[in-house]
Amino acid sequence: MLQAQKKHARFLFMFIFPAFIIYTVFMLLPILNSMKYSLYSGDGLIPDTFVGLDNYVKLFTEERYFSKFWNALGNNIKFFLIVTFIQNILGFFMAVFVTRSFKGNKFMRKLSFLPTTLSVLVVGFIFKLILNPYYGVFDKVLEAVGLGKFIIPWLGDPRSALIIVSIAVSWQFFGESVLFYSSGIDGIDDSILEAARIDGANIWHEIIHIILPSVLPIVGIVTILIFIGDFTQFDIVYAMTGYRGDPGYSTDLMGSLFYRTAFATTERGGWGTGMGAAVATMMFIIVTLGVGILLAFFNKKKEDMTK
C-alpha cells in the first residue's frame, strides 16, 4: 500500500473520476431524480408542474390506482415466497447433493448453472409455448401418462398463472443458488466433516450442525438478491402473461405495474410519468425496507448460532 502524497492526488482523481462520474450520473442520480419527478405532474412526457405529495395521495386514496397497487404488491409477495421456497430451500438441498462425491458431479454443477445464462424473456417464452393448450408438449405428456383430467389452461386460469410464472423464474435461477451454496459447502473444512462421520453423524446431522451454520451468510446474500430481483422483476410477466399481468391482473407484479404506469399510453394503462415515478419511488422504499429487514434477520440468526 502506497501512502498517497500530494503529488499523487492528481492521479488518484484521474483514476477514480471516469468510473465515479458514469456510475453516479447514470445509476445513482436517476433514482434520486425519479423521486423528484414523483412530486411533479404534467400532461406531456416531462412532468413540469409541482404538485407536492399529490401523486402519492392519489395513489393511496383513488380506487383505480390503489386497487392495482395493492394487487401487484400482494402478487409480488406470493411470487417472492414461492421463488424463495424453491430456490432457497430446494436449492440448498440440491447443493448438498451436488457436492457429494459421485460420478458426474462436475458435469452436474456445470449444467445446473446453464439456465441462468438464458434471458428471462426466452425462458418465459419457452414455458409459455410448452404450456400452450393447443400444441404444448406439457399437456400432451399428461395425456399420455393418463393424467389428462387434471389439465387446466395453466396460464389462463387466475388460480394457477402466478404459480406457473414463479416456477419459471425459479427454474431459471435455481442454478445460481446451487452454485452459491455449493461453493460455501466446498469451503467447509473436510476434517470437520470427517470427524462428524466417524462419530456416526448421518446426513441430517451433517446438514443441521455443520453445513447450515457454515453457509448461513450465503443464505442471507442469496435471499437478499432474490428479494431485489423479484420485487423489480418484469421480463417474465411480459413474456408469459403480457404487460398487464393477465388473466385479470392476477400475475401483475410491481415491475409490470411500473412499466405500464410510467411508459405506456393512457389507453394501454399509463398513469403519466409523474405517477409512474411515484410507483418507482414506492418500489425503492419497499426494496430498501425489505433488504434492511432481511439483513437484520440474518445478522441476528448469525449471532444466535455463534452463541
Q: Is 184 in the site for other proteins (CB under 8 A)?
A: yes
Tell me the DSSP string of 214-228.
HHHHHHHHHHHHHHH
DSSP class of residue 246 equals S
Q: Is 218 near other proteins (CB under 8 A)?
A: yes
Q: Does 100 bind other proteins (CB under 8 A)?
A: yes
* Least distance from other proteins to the Cβ atom of residue 235, Å: 5
Q: DSSP secondary-structure letter at 46?
A: S
Strands 49-50 and 40-41: antiparallel
Q: Which of residues 142-181 bind other proteins (CB under 8 A)?
A: 171, 175-176, 179-180
Residue 50 DSSP class: E
Choice from 54, 71, 77, 113 touching other proteins (CB under 8 A): 113
Nearer to other proteins, 63 or 204 (CB): 204
Sequence-distant (6+) residues with CB within 8 A of 274 are 37, 38, 39, 40, 41, 42, 47, 51, 55
Instruction: Using the structure block, give the residue that is written with the C-alpha cell 434477520.
Output: 297
Phi, psi angle pair for 49, to nearest 5°: -105, 125
The answer to the question of residue 207 lying near other proteins (CB under 8 A) is no
Which of 63/192 has CB closer to other proteins?
192
By beta-carbon proximity to other proteins, the closer residue of 1 and 198 is: 1
Which residues in 52-91 contact other proteins (CB under 8 A)? none
Query: Measured from the CB of residue 47, what is the shortest distance to other proteins in angstroms?
Result: 9
When asked if residue 213 is in the footprint of other proteins (CB under 8 A), the reply is no
Size of the site for other proteins (CB under 8 A): 92
Residue 46 touches other proteins, criterion: CB under 8 A = yes
Please give the single-letter amino acid code of residue 226.
Answer: I
Using CB under 8 A, pick the residue from 59, 83, 155, 239 that binds other proteins. 239
**How wide is the angle at C-alpha 70 spanned by C-alphas 66 and 75, nearest 5°?**
150
Alpha-carbon distance of 219 to 215, in angstroms, equals 6
Distance CA 202, CA 46 (A): 64
Give 186 or 194: the residue with its C-beta nearer to other proteins: 186
Burial 153-162 (b: 16+ CB within 10 A, else e): ebbeeeebbb
Pick between residue 1 and residue 150 the one whose CB is nearest to other proteins: 1
Closest to other proteins by CB, 63 vs 202, is 202
The residue with cell 423464474 is: 169
Select from 54-62, 75-83, 157-165, 227-235 the region that touches other proteins (CB under 8 A).
Answer: 227-235
Site for other proteins in 241-280 (CB under 8 A): 255, 258-259, 262-263, 273, 276-277, 280
* DSSP 3-state of 41: strand
Of 14 and 63, the one with the shorter C-beta distance to other proteins is 14
Does the footprint of other proteins cover residue 297 (CB under 8 A)?
Answer: no
217 CA to centre of own chain: 18
Backbone angles phi and psi of 141, in degrees to 5 = -65, -45
For 183, phi and psi rounded to 5 degrees?
Answer: -70, -30
Residue of 73, 201, 207, 221 that binds other proteins (CB under 8 A):
221
